[in-house]
Amino acid sequence: MQNFVFHNPTKILFGKGTIPAIGPETVAFGTRVLLVYGSGSIKRNGVYQQVTDSLLKAGAEIVEHPGVQSNPVLSHVQEGITLAKKQKCQVICAVGGGSVIDEAKAICAGAVVNYDVWKFFTGKKSVTCPLPLTTVLTLAASGSEMNSGMVITNEETRQKFGFANKKLYPKTSILDPEATYTVPADYTVYGAVDAIAHVLEFYFTTQDPATPVQDRLMEGLIINAMESCDRVLADLYDYQGRADLMWTATLALNGLTAAGLGKVGFPMHLIEHSLSALYNVPHGAGLSAVISGWMRLQCQATPQRFAQFAERIFDLRSGSTEERAQKGIDALKQWFEKVRSPTSLAALKIPAQDIPKIAENAVTLASVWRMPDYDCERIQTILAGC
């Protein structure tokens, strides 16, 4: 295990009936509140009313910024920044899933500076003193409610870039599993896939051979993501299933899983970001199409690691190290197929002849993320296996 610093300042309020606490938690940082949310599903399921009632009761003045889309876009972020500045907002409250929270973080960072927020994502500027952020989570997936990262798509350049800064952790995040009851089956699955991908990338990119504590933690999260997702698909109103999936997704990317692993990377997200940027596919769907192709190439370098994955996740113990490793990859792909998540580019209706274009797009982000091993040739090899 490598030396590490684990510090996560986000306060979590988890469970039934916690949403009405958002008002006091938010106005502790200011009364002029920019309320950021998506297309309006929170109005249909009652979450919007709970949030606004609580904010108003706590003395907040609400400025609304609706319309965040899946795979949030830079132009809408810029509109939010302009609004926050004009209305002199002091704090931002994001109500939604990872897309809403990511856009809210970008607004928090951009509302206090006089240059283009995109400079954060290209590494030209660093966050200094963002507006404070509180969140009410409505989708178990990205972990953005308890981490310092954000992902935005630049429509003009067709680039989907991610950026993290320790000052972007939400101050408080409210996680009420009942708020996810109305998430449909497909997006429930995509959220589970996203959480699994976060863990897999750490699990398979660490170069430390002795990480038993982290291994068991990550393996348990992967198993729980699949099992809780299966329970929710059987009953979308299964509270315990929703609760387990929600907390699993949060833990998958809140800094704890990567602690002690040393240098790790996000190669599957690197490639999927190009799919989302170019074709606007749902993030989790793009990941499930990329995962097995990436795993098969990575397996060549660390077959023992993949054999361990097969044994501990799927109880596959027969055959050679290489055979067990391949069986584990196949078993994960079969689970994706069982829950009806795409497992190929063809399933996403992305033609094979577009692979060079996708790889070229991804290489730009590889440079920003300092992942020189992921050149056009390697990315095309991975995509060819998808």
Out of 56-60, 215-219, 367-371, least confident range: 367-371
- The pLDDT value given to residue 298: 95
pTM of the model: 0.95
Contact between 93 and 136 (Cβ < 8 Å)? yes
Common-topology check for domains 11-179 and 184-384 = no
Contact between 142 and 102 (Cβ < 8 Å)? yes
Q: What is the mean pLDDT of residues 224-246?
A: 98
Res 121 pLDDT > 90: yes
Residue among 244, 126, 257 at smallest CA distance from 204: 257
CB environment 307-327: b (16+ within 10 A), e (fewer): bbbbbbbbebeeeeeeebbbb
Q: Tell me: domain 184-384, CATH 1.20.1090.10, correct?
A: yes
- The pLDDT value given to residue 40: 83
Instruction: Read off φ and ψ for residue 34, nearest 5 degrees.
Output: -90, 115
Q: What is the mean pLDDT of residues 207-225?
A: 96
Q: Tell me: domain 11-179, CATH 1.10.10.10, correct?
A: no
- The pLDDT value given to residue 333: 97
User: Each residue of 167-208: pLDDT tens digit?
Assistant: 999 999 999 999 999 999 999 999 999 999 999 999 999 999
Q: What is the mean pLDDT of residues 58-78?
A: 96
Instruction: Name the residue ranges covered by the structural domains of the chain.
Output: 11-179, 184-384
Task: Give the mean pLDDT of the chain.
Answer: 96
Res 13 pLDDT > 90: yes
- The pLDDT value given to residue 74: 97
The pair of structure tokens assigned to 192 is 């589970």
Res 62 pLDDT > 90: yes
